[in-house]
Structure 1
């Protein structure tokens, strides 16, 4: 199933924020795995000025159908006024790993009411 897996990127201001967001996304099955890469140096324009800051990059692996819920949750948790969130389609990969991502970034099955 091409393009049903996404790798999403988001930067965070520090390790504590990155760890909190990563843990929440995985616990809530919005992502199968989130890598936290410290030591990212970002240079960007914000409110008319050029800034350079140390950040932590999140590399988020998820199923494409979970992206809307992931986006909503990440934006709610993120401290930035304008958080980065970019989703890149995975066009190929190790099939068993991609199956694992699908299985662990799946919406919980609903339980029938008695």
Structure 2
């Protein structure tokens, strides 16, 4: 696995996204979180939903991935929060070193 990971999750409000993002950085399970408003279509409760959501993109070290996933699950309002991890296979070495230093326990 790569040494660095980008994790995506979504929330139902800007305030929830900001609170989750801040808690992720504060707990040092993610170095940086970007939040963007999106529109999501998905099936839930036997109906296709069309909802505004706020997407969080979290950069973390592979070593802290499981802790980040647990943090999101413990601090998320959704019954089944989206948590998708994608390996970062390259990038600015100085930035990736910073990600590592910010997510050290």
TM-score by length of 1: 0.89
Q: Which residue of 1 aligns with 2:25?
A: 26
Q: Structure 1 CA distance, aligned partners of 2:11 and 2:3?
A: 25
| DSSP-derived class of the 2:30 partner | coil
Give the drift of 1:47. Answer: 2.2
Of 60, 63, 77, the match for 2:61: 63
Q: Aligned Cα RMSD in Å?
A: 0.9
Of 91, 94, 112, the match for 2:92: 94
Q: Tell which structure's C-alpha radius of gyration is larger.
A: 1
Q: Give CA-to-partner distance per residue, 1:21-75, whole Å, 9 cap, x none.
A: 100010111000000112x000001121100100000000000110111111111
TM-score by length of 2: 0.97
Q: Structure 1 CA distance, aligned partners of 2:41 and 2:12?
A: 13
Note the residue ranges of structure 2 that are not aligned, 5 or more in a row. none
| DSSP-derived class of the 1:80 partner | coil
Q: Give CA-to-partner distance per residue, 1:59-94, whole Å, 9 cap, x none.
A: 000001101111111111100011000000000101
Q: Which residue of 1 aligns with 2:104?
A: 106
Q: Structure 1 CA distance, aligned partners of 2:15 and 2:7?
A: 19
**What is the total number of aligned residue pairs between the two structures?**
105
